[in-house]
Amino acid sequence: MGTDVAYRSAVDLAGAIAERRVSPVEVMEETLRQVEAREPSLNAIVFRGFDEAMESARSAEEALAQGEPGGRLRGVPVLMKDLFDFKPGWPATFGGIPAMADFSIDGYCVWAERMEAAGAIIIGKGNSPAMGFRGCCDNYLFGPTGNPFDTTRNTGGSSGGSAAVVADGLVPIAEGTDGGGSIRIPAAWCGVVGYQPSAGRVPSILRPNAFSGVSPFIYEGPITRTVEDAALAMSALAGPHPGDPFCALDTPDFSASLDRGVEGWKIAYSPDLGVYPVQPEVAAVVADAVKAFEEAGAQVVEVDIDIDIDQRELADLWCRLIMPLSLDAFSNLAAGGLDIIGDYLTEVNVTSPTCIRELDREYDGNIAGLLFDAIETRL
């Protein structure tokens, strides 16, 4: 395969490295060269851990030369996300909050911990909106991320930096997290595979304790260019973790599922879930894509879903259900001396300053009260 690694799949790279057709150092050198040449037009990588990545590549090459066993992703370059995602010594700006430009957490998030355990090499962190609370990728500290297909347009959010770098062929796997579309939106806008696993499939551990991750709306999964790479990444990410009391205990063989097929399945399909406005052009593309299931032998049945709540009301409810995560993070940061919603509120464009102050005053840190009140109000 030579040293041309652009647009190579993770499966291809991992196999070539394991068979010693290319070295981890060669892969990393070419990856970083491509990033230096092409990333400035994207503004997708907000922290570059290039020196550390090269050191890890050399270590991987030495271990390979000595015949030491390695993980399924040994030597494969990947990108993590700059949100609730940590690696010791690396900045954690929680989505480009200027006051947190030099903030870091001395610990690993599950994604970084497990990808490195599988042998992958993290080259840096990808851009995200503040607290992940926007459908586009932009913030006050780093600015917007350009879409590789048209850099005057956005990648979508919140995992926009990850989607851009994968779509542009710079790395085969990047981290995605999702609470309201943050994997799905940028994957759709950038034409890549965004896999949002079921709740609990990938453990959720948010600082400072495991019970910060109890929201059923938080998911973590890979952004890739192929379904095969998504399955490979999930083989590294999924599985129980002692820090998450709600994670799934089994570990499916995701790669084995690739050949299972859908012949004989009966699949329900709704063009708009009964309530969401969809542009005709988008609806037409999706309707055409659904035919692939029929071509594979499944029966697709279009269903009508009767929801008597409009899309705006559902969105407002979602905001109230997801906001406890941000409020909890702000509270913990304030306890450490960084009062984001007091001293730096204008840097966090997640919702109106008045709304945040009212919620903070009304519940006085009682995040559970906020959550259950929102549920009771709707139900």
Whole-angstrom CA distances from 186 to 1, 148, 199, 325 are: 30, 12, 20, 21
Instruction: Scan for tokens 């690696």, then name that residue.
Output: 87
182 has catalytic annotation: yes
Q: Which amino acid is at 211?
A: F
**Per annotation, catalytic residue among 128, 182, 204, 326:** 182
**Alpha carbon distance 28, 39 (integer Å):** 15
Tokens linked to 104: 């870091």
Per the omega criterion (within 30 degrees of 0), is the bond before 158 cis? yes
Q: What are the respective helix, strand and coil percentages of the chain, to the nearest 5?
A: 45, 10, 45
Give every CB contact of residue 220 below 8 A, 6+ residues apart in sequence: 110, 111, 175, 176, 177, 178, 197, 202, 204, 237
Omega prior to 98 cis, within 30 of 0: no
Which residues 6+ apart lie within 8 Å of 316 measured at CB?
Answer: none
Which helix (H) or strand (E) segment holds residue 55: the answer is helix 50-65
> Which residues touch 323 (CB under 8 Å, ≥6 apart)?
350, 351, 359, 370
Beta strands of 36-155 (E only): which ranges? 45-48, 77-81, 121-126, 146-147, 150-154
Q: Which of 81, 125, 235, 326 is catalytic?
A: 81
Residue 81 annotated as catalytic: yes
The closest alpha carbon to 206, from 243, 158, 251, 162, belongs to 243
Q: What is the C-alpha to C-alpha distance for residues 8 and 351, in angstroms, rounded to an integer? A: 40
Instruction: Say whether 59 is catalytic.
Output: no
23, 158, 204, 212: the catalytic one is 158
Cβ distance 101 to 127 under 8 Å? no
Residues forming the active site: 81, 158, 182
